[in-house]
Amino acid sequence: MEKRYLDIKDGLLLKCDCQAKGEIIIPDNVTRISHLAFHECAEVQNIVIPDSVISIGERAFLGCVSMKGIVIPASVKDVGPGIFDDCDALIKITVDPANRYYDSRGDCNSVIDSNTNTLVAGCGTSVIPDTVEYIGKKAFINCRMLKAINLPSTVKEIGSEAFRGCQSVTEATLPETVEEIGYAAFRGCRNLRSIVIPSKVAVIRKECFACCTSLRTVDLPIGLSCIEEMAFDSCWSLDSISLSTFTEIKSCSFESGITVRFDVEDF
């Protein structure tokens, strides 16, 4: 009966009707799930993906706010960014152990690229294993169940928009191993109160902490070379920030009214 909700063409699941409810079983003639395929299917509680599916497109399950769990089958070879964007109820993510490309090692409630050790998709109950080296683009985007970010000391890079819109996050601990933080990585984490940027980070990317409206304390490394546009835009609780004299500040990096102090003692 659920097939009537699905728009399928040449093996591509283009769209699921947003009026769909309950359980959706994708037929085994589907090989690819398109980007935004289940956009705003707010009453869908379970989606069964067959072993015929080899790819899941970007933000495929955006707005599936009633979905509590999902199993990624062994056949899947490609997972796009942000597949669980705005999936508020999601607490269980499992990758079939037979999958050669992705895994959910240690029952971590995440999708991890087995070859690159990149966490590509997570949820509010994810526990990031100490074998993960990269947090992928949009990995936790709009994950409102996530309350704290604790990255293991193996993580080297945080991808663009990785934690964007994680409104319940109050604290984030970044290890010294982190060298790169991507565009808008923490944008809209409006309850984040403080952040210490690891010493190897040279650039604060565009919109990195924009709209973090509760952010009061930012500890920047001495070797920081550049703060890009709108990096701290709309950080209304941030009164002042200290920089080295060698830090380039792009236009509109800060909310107006912030006092910028240059520390010359270490030079």
Q: What is the pLDDT of residue 241?
A: 81
Tokens found for residue 116:
């690159």
Q: What is the pLDDT of residue 259?
A: 59
DSSP per-residue letters across 144-209:
TT--EEE--TT--EE-TTTTTT-TT--EEE--TT--EE-TTTTTT-TT--EEE--TT--EE-TTTT
In a domain, 131, yes or no: no
Write down how long the chain is. 267
Q: What is the pLDDT of residue 247?
A: 76
Q: What is the pLDDT of residue 108?
A: 98
Reported pTM: 0.93
Contact 175, 201 (CB under 8 A): no
In a domain, 227, yes or no: yes
In a domain, 182, yes or no: yes
In a domain, 190, yes or no: yes
In a domain, 154, yes or no: yes
Structural domain range at position 165: 147-267
In a domain, 183, yes or no: yes
Number of separate domains in the chain: 1
User: Beta strand 102-103 with 6-9: parallel, antiparallel or unpaired?
Assistant: unpaired
Q: What is the pLDDT of residue 253?
A: 77
Contact 258, 236 (CB under 8 A): no
In a domain, 228, yes or no: yes
CATH number at residue 160: 3.80.10.10
Q: How many CB atoms lie within 10 A of CB 219?
A: 11
Q: What stretches in the chain show pLDDT beneath 70?
A: 1-2, 244-246, 251-252, 255-267
Q: How many CB atoms lie within 10 A of CB 224?
A: 18
Q: What is the pLDDT of residue 267?
A: 41
Distance separating alpha carbons of residues 132 and 143, to the nearest angstrom? 19
Cα–Cα distance list, 87 to 43, 45, 67, 121, 253 (Å): 11, 11, 7, 11, 31
In a domain, 179, yes or no: yes
